[in-house]
Structure formats: C-alpha cells, structure tokens
Amino acid sequence: MRTYHEIRLSDRHITSKELHGEQVIQAGRYLIAKTLLEMDVASIDPLSPRNPLIFSAGPFSGTAWSNANRISVGCKSPLTGGVKEANGGGTFAYALGQINTAGLTLLDASPDWVVIHLTKGGDIEFDDAAPYMGKGNFEVADQLIEKYGKRVALAICGPVGEYQGLLAGVSFTDKDLRPTRLAARGGVGAVMGSKKVKAIVVDMNKMPTFEEPKKVTAGVRKYAKMIQEDEVVQNGYRPLGTMAMADFQNQFGGLPVRNFSAGRLADTGAGEEFKMGAAYIGPLNTARGGEQSHACMPGCLIQCSNIYMDADGNEVASPIEYETLGLLGTNCGLSDPDDLARVNAIANDLGVDTIETGATLAVLMEAGVGEFGDVEFMADALDEIRQGTENGRIWAQGTAFAGAHYEAARIPVIKGQALGAYDPRVVEGTGLGMMTTAQGADHTVGNLPRLDTSEMDLEEILAQSLVVQTKVAAADSLGLCAFGQTVTNTNTDFLAETLNAAHGTSLDAGFFDALGSDALRLEREFNDKAGFTDKDDELPTFFYEEELPPSGRVARFHGADVHGIYEGLPS
Ligand code: SF4
C-alpha cells in the first residue's frame, strides 16, 4: 500500500488516498496520461490553475533497486500544448518511496509562493518561500538543506520557472545534494511556477513496506547482479556515460552542429581532433580528478553520470550528458568541453532544459543575434534569461517562439519542442520516434541512435520504433531508468514476479508491453483531444530541403507517412 496526495493549493486542502496493487505499479507516464484524460484538461491553458502538476514515483521507489527511482513529472505542456511526462533522476522518488508515498498532484495555484514539506511523520506543511525567491538553484538548495537538514530530497522551481519561462524544468537533488537532475522537457518548471510552488521538500525515512519484503530484497540483489554482468552497462554506460554517443554521432554524421547545418563537427579520419565526446573528455576529466562513473540516485550500479572538473581540479558541472554536449555544445558551435561545462553549470543553476536552451541559443546565432562558438554570448544570454530582461523573457519561451520572433530560417522543433541531439536526416529511427510521439520532439521515447536505416524502408523502421517506444513507455511508467533496458527488457518475467511480491499482484511477463502500449494509446488520445493531427508529426521544412553534410542526406518521411504508427499496437 502507498499513499497518494492531491494538494489543492488555493485553500491548502489535501485529499489523500490509499493505492494498492496495480494502482501502485501503473505509475509515471501511464498514470500521467490517464489522469490528464480523466481530468479533461486537453483544451485548457497549460499555465492556468486548471492544469494539474503530477509527481509520480514507481513501484520500487524507496529501495536500493538499481536505477528504479526515476521521478515522473506530468501536466499539459505549455511548450507543446500536448501531453507531457518529463522524468528525472536524483533522490526525489526515493524519498517519496521511503515515506510510503506513490506521488502527489498539485491542483489550482497558491495565492503566495510556498515551499511544501512532506515529513516522515506523514504531515504536509506549507512554509513561506520568500527567502528563496529569485535565487539560483544551488543557493536555494543550500538554504533548504540548512533549514530542513541533509536527509531530504528537493524539487525546485528555478528563477526562470518563477516567471514561467518555458525553458524551465523541475530540478531535483542528486544523492550528493546537487540540484542538477532535471525533469527537463516541455516547460514543466513553468507550470510549477504558475502554481507559485518554489520547492517541495521530502524527508528520507526508511525502506518502504512490501507484501513480501524478503522476496523484494532478493529481487534487488538479483537485478544488481544482472546489471553488473551486463556488457552494455559495464563496457558502455558505466565507464563512458552518455557522452560516448557524441563520438559515435560525430562519425555517423548525425550530430547537431551549428543549428543542424552539419552532422559532423570534426573529421577525425582527416586528422581533426574531436574534443566533445568521451574519448577526449574521459581521460582529461579523470586526470583532473573528476569522476567518469557517478550514480545520480542511491543504489544505481550503472552510474552513467559524471562530475566534470576544471584544470585546477575544481568541480564545474555534473553531469555532462550527450544531449547537452550536442545541443548546448556543438549545435552552438562550441568545440571545447571547458566552454560547454561553463554554460552547462549556468543552465543547471537556472534549472533550464539544456536541449531547449541550446536549440534556442543556436537559433539566435543563426538569426545574427550572436555568433556560433561565442561562449561569452551564451553566458550573457543566460544571464539575461536569469534576470528576466525583455530579451531574456523572449528567449526563455524556447526555440519555436524565439525562432519565429527573429524569423530564423531553421527552427528545429516538432510540436513546438526542440529536437534531441540526433539529426533526423541520418538518425532516422530516432527521428521517427521524435516525429510520432505525443511528447513533442523527445528522443528518449524511442531512441535508435546506432541504427543504420539507409537500406531500410519505412515499414521496417516504424516497426522497430514501435517496439522501442513501447518498452520505454513501460519503463517510464515503472520509474525505471532506460539505461538499464538491456536487463529489464529481457527479464520481464523476473520483473513481474518481484512486483507481485512487492505489491500482491498477479502479473505475468506480458504486463510490461501491455503497460507500455496502454501508455502510448492514452498519450495519443490526449493529443487527439488537444487537436493534434498528422501535420504535427511533420519535420521542419529545412530537413526535407537541405542536404546534411557530410552524408548529403535529406529527410525521407512526412507526418502523414508515420502518424498511423500506433495502429500497430496490439489491441
Ligand atoms: S543510469 Fe545514469 S541516469 Fe540512470 S539512474 Fe543511473 S546514474 Fe542516473
């Protein structure tokens, strides 16, 4: 059993209900899409009090189960106008689980800025947020930890979220109390700001209660063993992290470079040095005393995260991820990881999505507001976004808005949201995921980054995309980090058995794909109600018209070709 809270902010009325069995298990993306449909909010203004903001933890949250403590944040997206689930790492879901809480929904808006505190005694308290307003996330986290102690997890609305800038995510503390793990995408931080909730503090407590605790503990151990024996984890994610993808995409020709005008930054075959991937950064950072294997949440044995140091051995930013290297880095013309780390650290302090922010800055550069590769321009622009100046507020509305404002030629968005770091002319499998998902251009929903599709037809790519989209939707509904998918996707019988022991259900191995399929159907249904059509699955025109160097490829598929993908889901 776990408790779920609905907190009506307008009068601080709290409705708490007990969840049992499958109600605890069907969390995250599934729960968010289902709740948004039930609340009939497809046609509302996303920044109005009617938009709920949902925080949902998975069924193993609160345990040391490796990579099972992702937190899902959901609402109608103010960036896309569609369904939104953005998930982040860190300790927030872990702490919720430790107080036997499955999640919470924020309803309405508070009359004054508040900090909400969920105590280990089961109380929900409202504190004055005045001491934290307008400050960067690191200072706010320090203040909150001083007030509430170190045995807490934090969710913070940063200074950009305060004024409802759509770049804003919700920032969560990692296991070392850095506020740098974001539910980044879709403007969820702006929705938190619209509700005048500055932060949520959750006390850590103890291992949650389960139906058969010994079997759950054995499951935690067995999963850990499988992760430690998994080749992809041990030879890829753990030593190299996601930044290894930059080396691959630079070779593959799918790296976003200077606002998606090229697919490769450095021709390593011709002797040019590529400094924006793991091959260069890993040894450099290790020599400086940085960490290339770091866990963002308790118990994670994949440890894809990192801590990047400067030449003097001082921490600059954590984590440096591939998507940030791509969008805030090469896509803005940067070629030095120290420059990227500098702006990444500022973005972390602001609590903004580095994908949307990087794509926005690159559009500004293309429009002549700045120069590609000019890190000083980027730092100054982020400062304007922090201050909320007139320009800063325009830029904080994201890539689509800023691109239209400056009449930029290339505006790399789908459904109003910037693309992840995979040029869809070359990385077609990921491109189809970003086109078709109801989430907007989100690569995580169905990433096939290494799939060479040059000899494949549309039907084959769609089929592969549907398989991976289904499995990711299931993982996102269970609080599982997708980087463990080589183990979770192939052991759904074991997952079902352990969930049954945890929550008294009688699932079989087929539950995993069924949960993912249902989540995808619900998300599409929500977007249908919000008025989306196949035209919204189209790529921006330049992807069809401009050949991408060095491959020379253009986009092959249109919205009408791919929109029917979910008709292939089993009924
Ligand atoms: S694999 Fe990486 S992102 Fe996922 S939980 Fe572990 S450290 Fe966090």
Is the Cα torsion angle 17, 18, 20, 26 positive or negative in sign?
A: positive
- Asked if residue 105 is part of any domain, the answer here is yes
**Ligand 1: distance of its center to the CA of 386 in Å?**
28
- Asked if residue 416 is part of any domain, the answer here is no
Atom 5 of ligand 1, nearest CA residue = 67
- The 3-state DSSP class for residue 439 equals coil
Ligand 1 atom index nearest CA of 242: 2
Our answer on whether the CB atom of 483 is closer than 6 Å to any ligand 1 atom is: yes
- Asked if residue 375 is part of any domain, the answer here is no
Our answer on whether the CB atom of 481 is closer than 6 Å to any ligand 1 atom is: yes
pLDDT at residue 556 in the model: 97
CB-based contact 191:47 (threshold 8 Å): yes
Atom 2 of ligand 1, nearest CA residue = 304
- Asked if residue 286 is part of any domain, the answer here is no
pLDDT at residue 500 in the model: 98
- Asked if residue 403 is part of any domain, the answer here is no
Q: What is the CA radius of gyration of the chain?
A: 22
The rounded average pLDDT for each run of 10 residues, N- to C-terminus, in the chain (571 residues) is: 98 98 98 98 98 98 96 98 98 98 98 98 98 98 98 98 98 98 98 99 97 97 96 91 96 98 97 98 98 94 96 97 98 98 98 98 98 98 98 98 97 98 98 98 97 96 98 98 95 98 98 98 98 98 98 98 96 81
- The 3-state DSSP class for residue 158 equals coil
Atom 4 of ligand 1, nearest CA residue = 481
CB-based contact 311:246 (threshold 8 Å): no
Strand order in the sheet with 181-183: 124-128, 114-118, 197-203, 152-157, 170-172, 181-183
Number of neighbouring beta carbons within 10 Å of residue 153? 26
Our answer on whether the CB atom of 397 is closer than 6 Å to any ligand 1 atom is: no
- Asked if residue 547 is part of any domain, the answer here is no
Q: Residue 13 sits in a domain of what CATH number?
A: 3.60.9.10
d(CA 178, CA 21): 34
pLDDT at residue 571 in the model: 81
Between the CA of residue 81 and those of 292, 378, 393, 427, 434, what are the distances in Å? 37, 28, 19, 26, 16
**Ligand 1: distance of its center to the CA of 552 in Å?**
35
Between the CA of residue 522 and those of 35, 205, 255, 463, 481, what are the distances in Å? 10, 34, 32, 19, 21
- Asked if residue 334 is part of any domain, the answer here is no
pLDDT at residue 394 in the model: 98
Q: For residue 405, which of 414, 413, 415, 394 has the smallest C-alpha distance?
A: 394
- Asked if residue 332 is part of any domain, the answer here is no
Q: For residue 2, which of 209, 301, 161, 217 has the smallest C-alpha distance?
A: 209
Ligand 1 atom index nearest CA of 70: 5
What's the one-letter identity of residue 207?
M
- Strand-pair category, 152-157 with 71-76: unpaired
| Domain count of the fold of the chain | 1
CB-based contact 145:152 (threshold 8 Å): yes
87, 302, 323: which to mutate for ligand 1, most atoms within 8 A of CB? 302
67, 87, 488: which to mutate for ligand 1, most atoms within 8 A of CB? 67
Our answer on whether the CB atom of 182 is closer than 6 Å to any ligand 1 atom is: no
Between the CA of residue 486 and those of 65, 87, 233, 358, 433, what are the distances in Å? 16, 19, 8, 30, 19
Which structural domain, as residue segments, surrounds residue 91?
Answer: 2-211
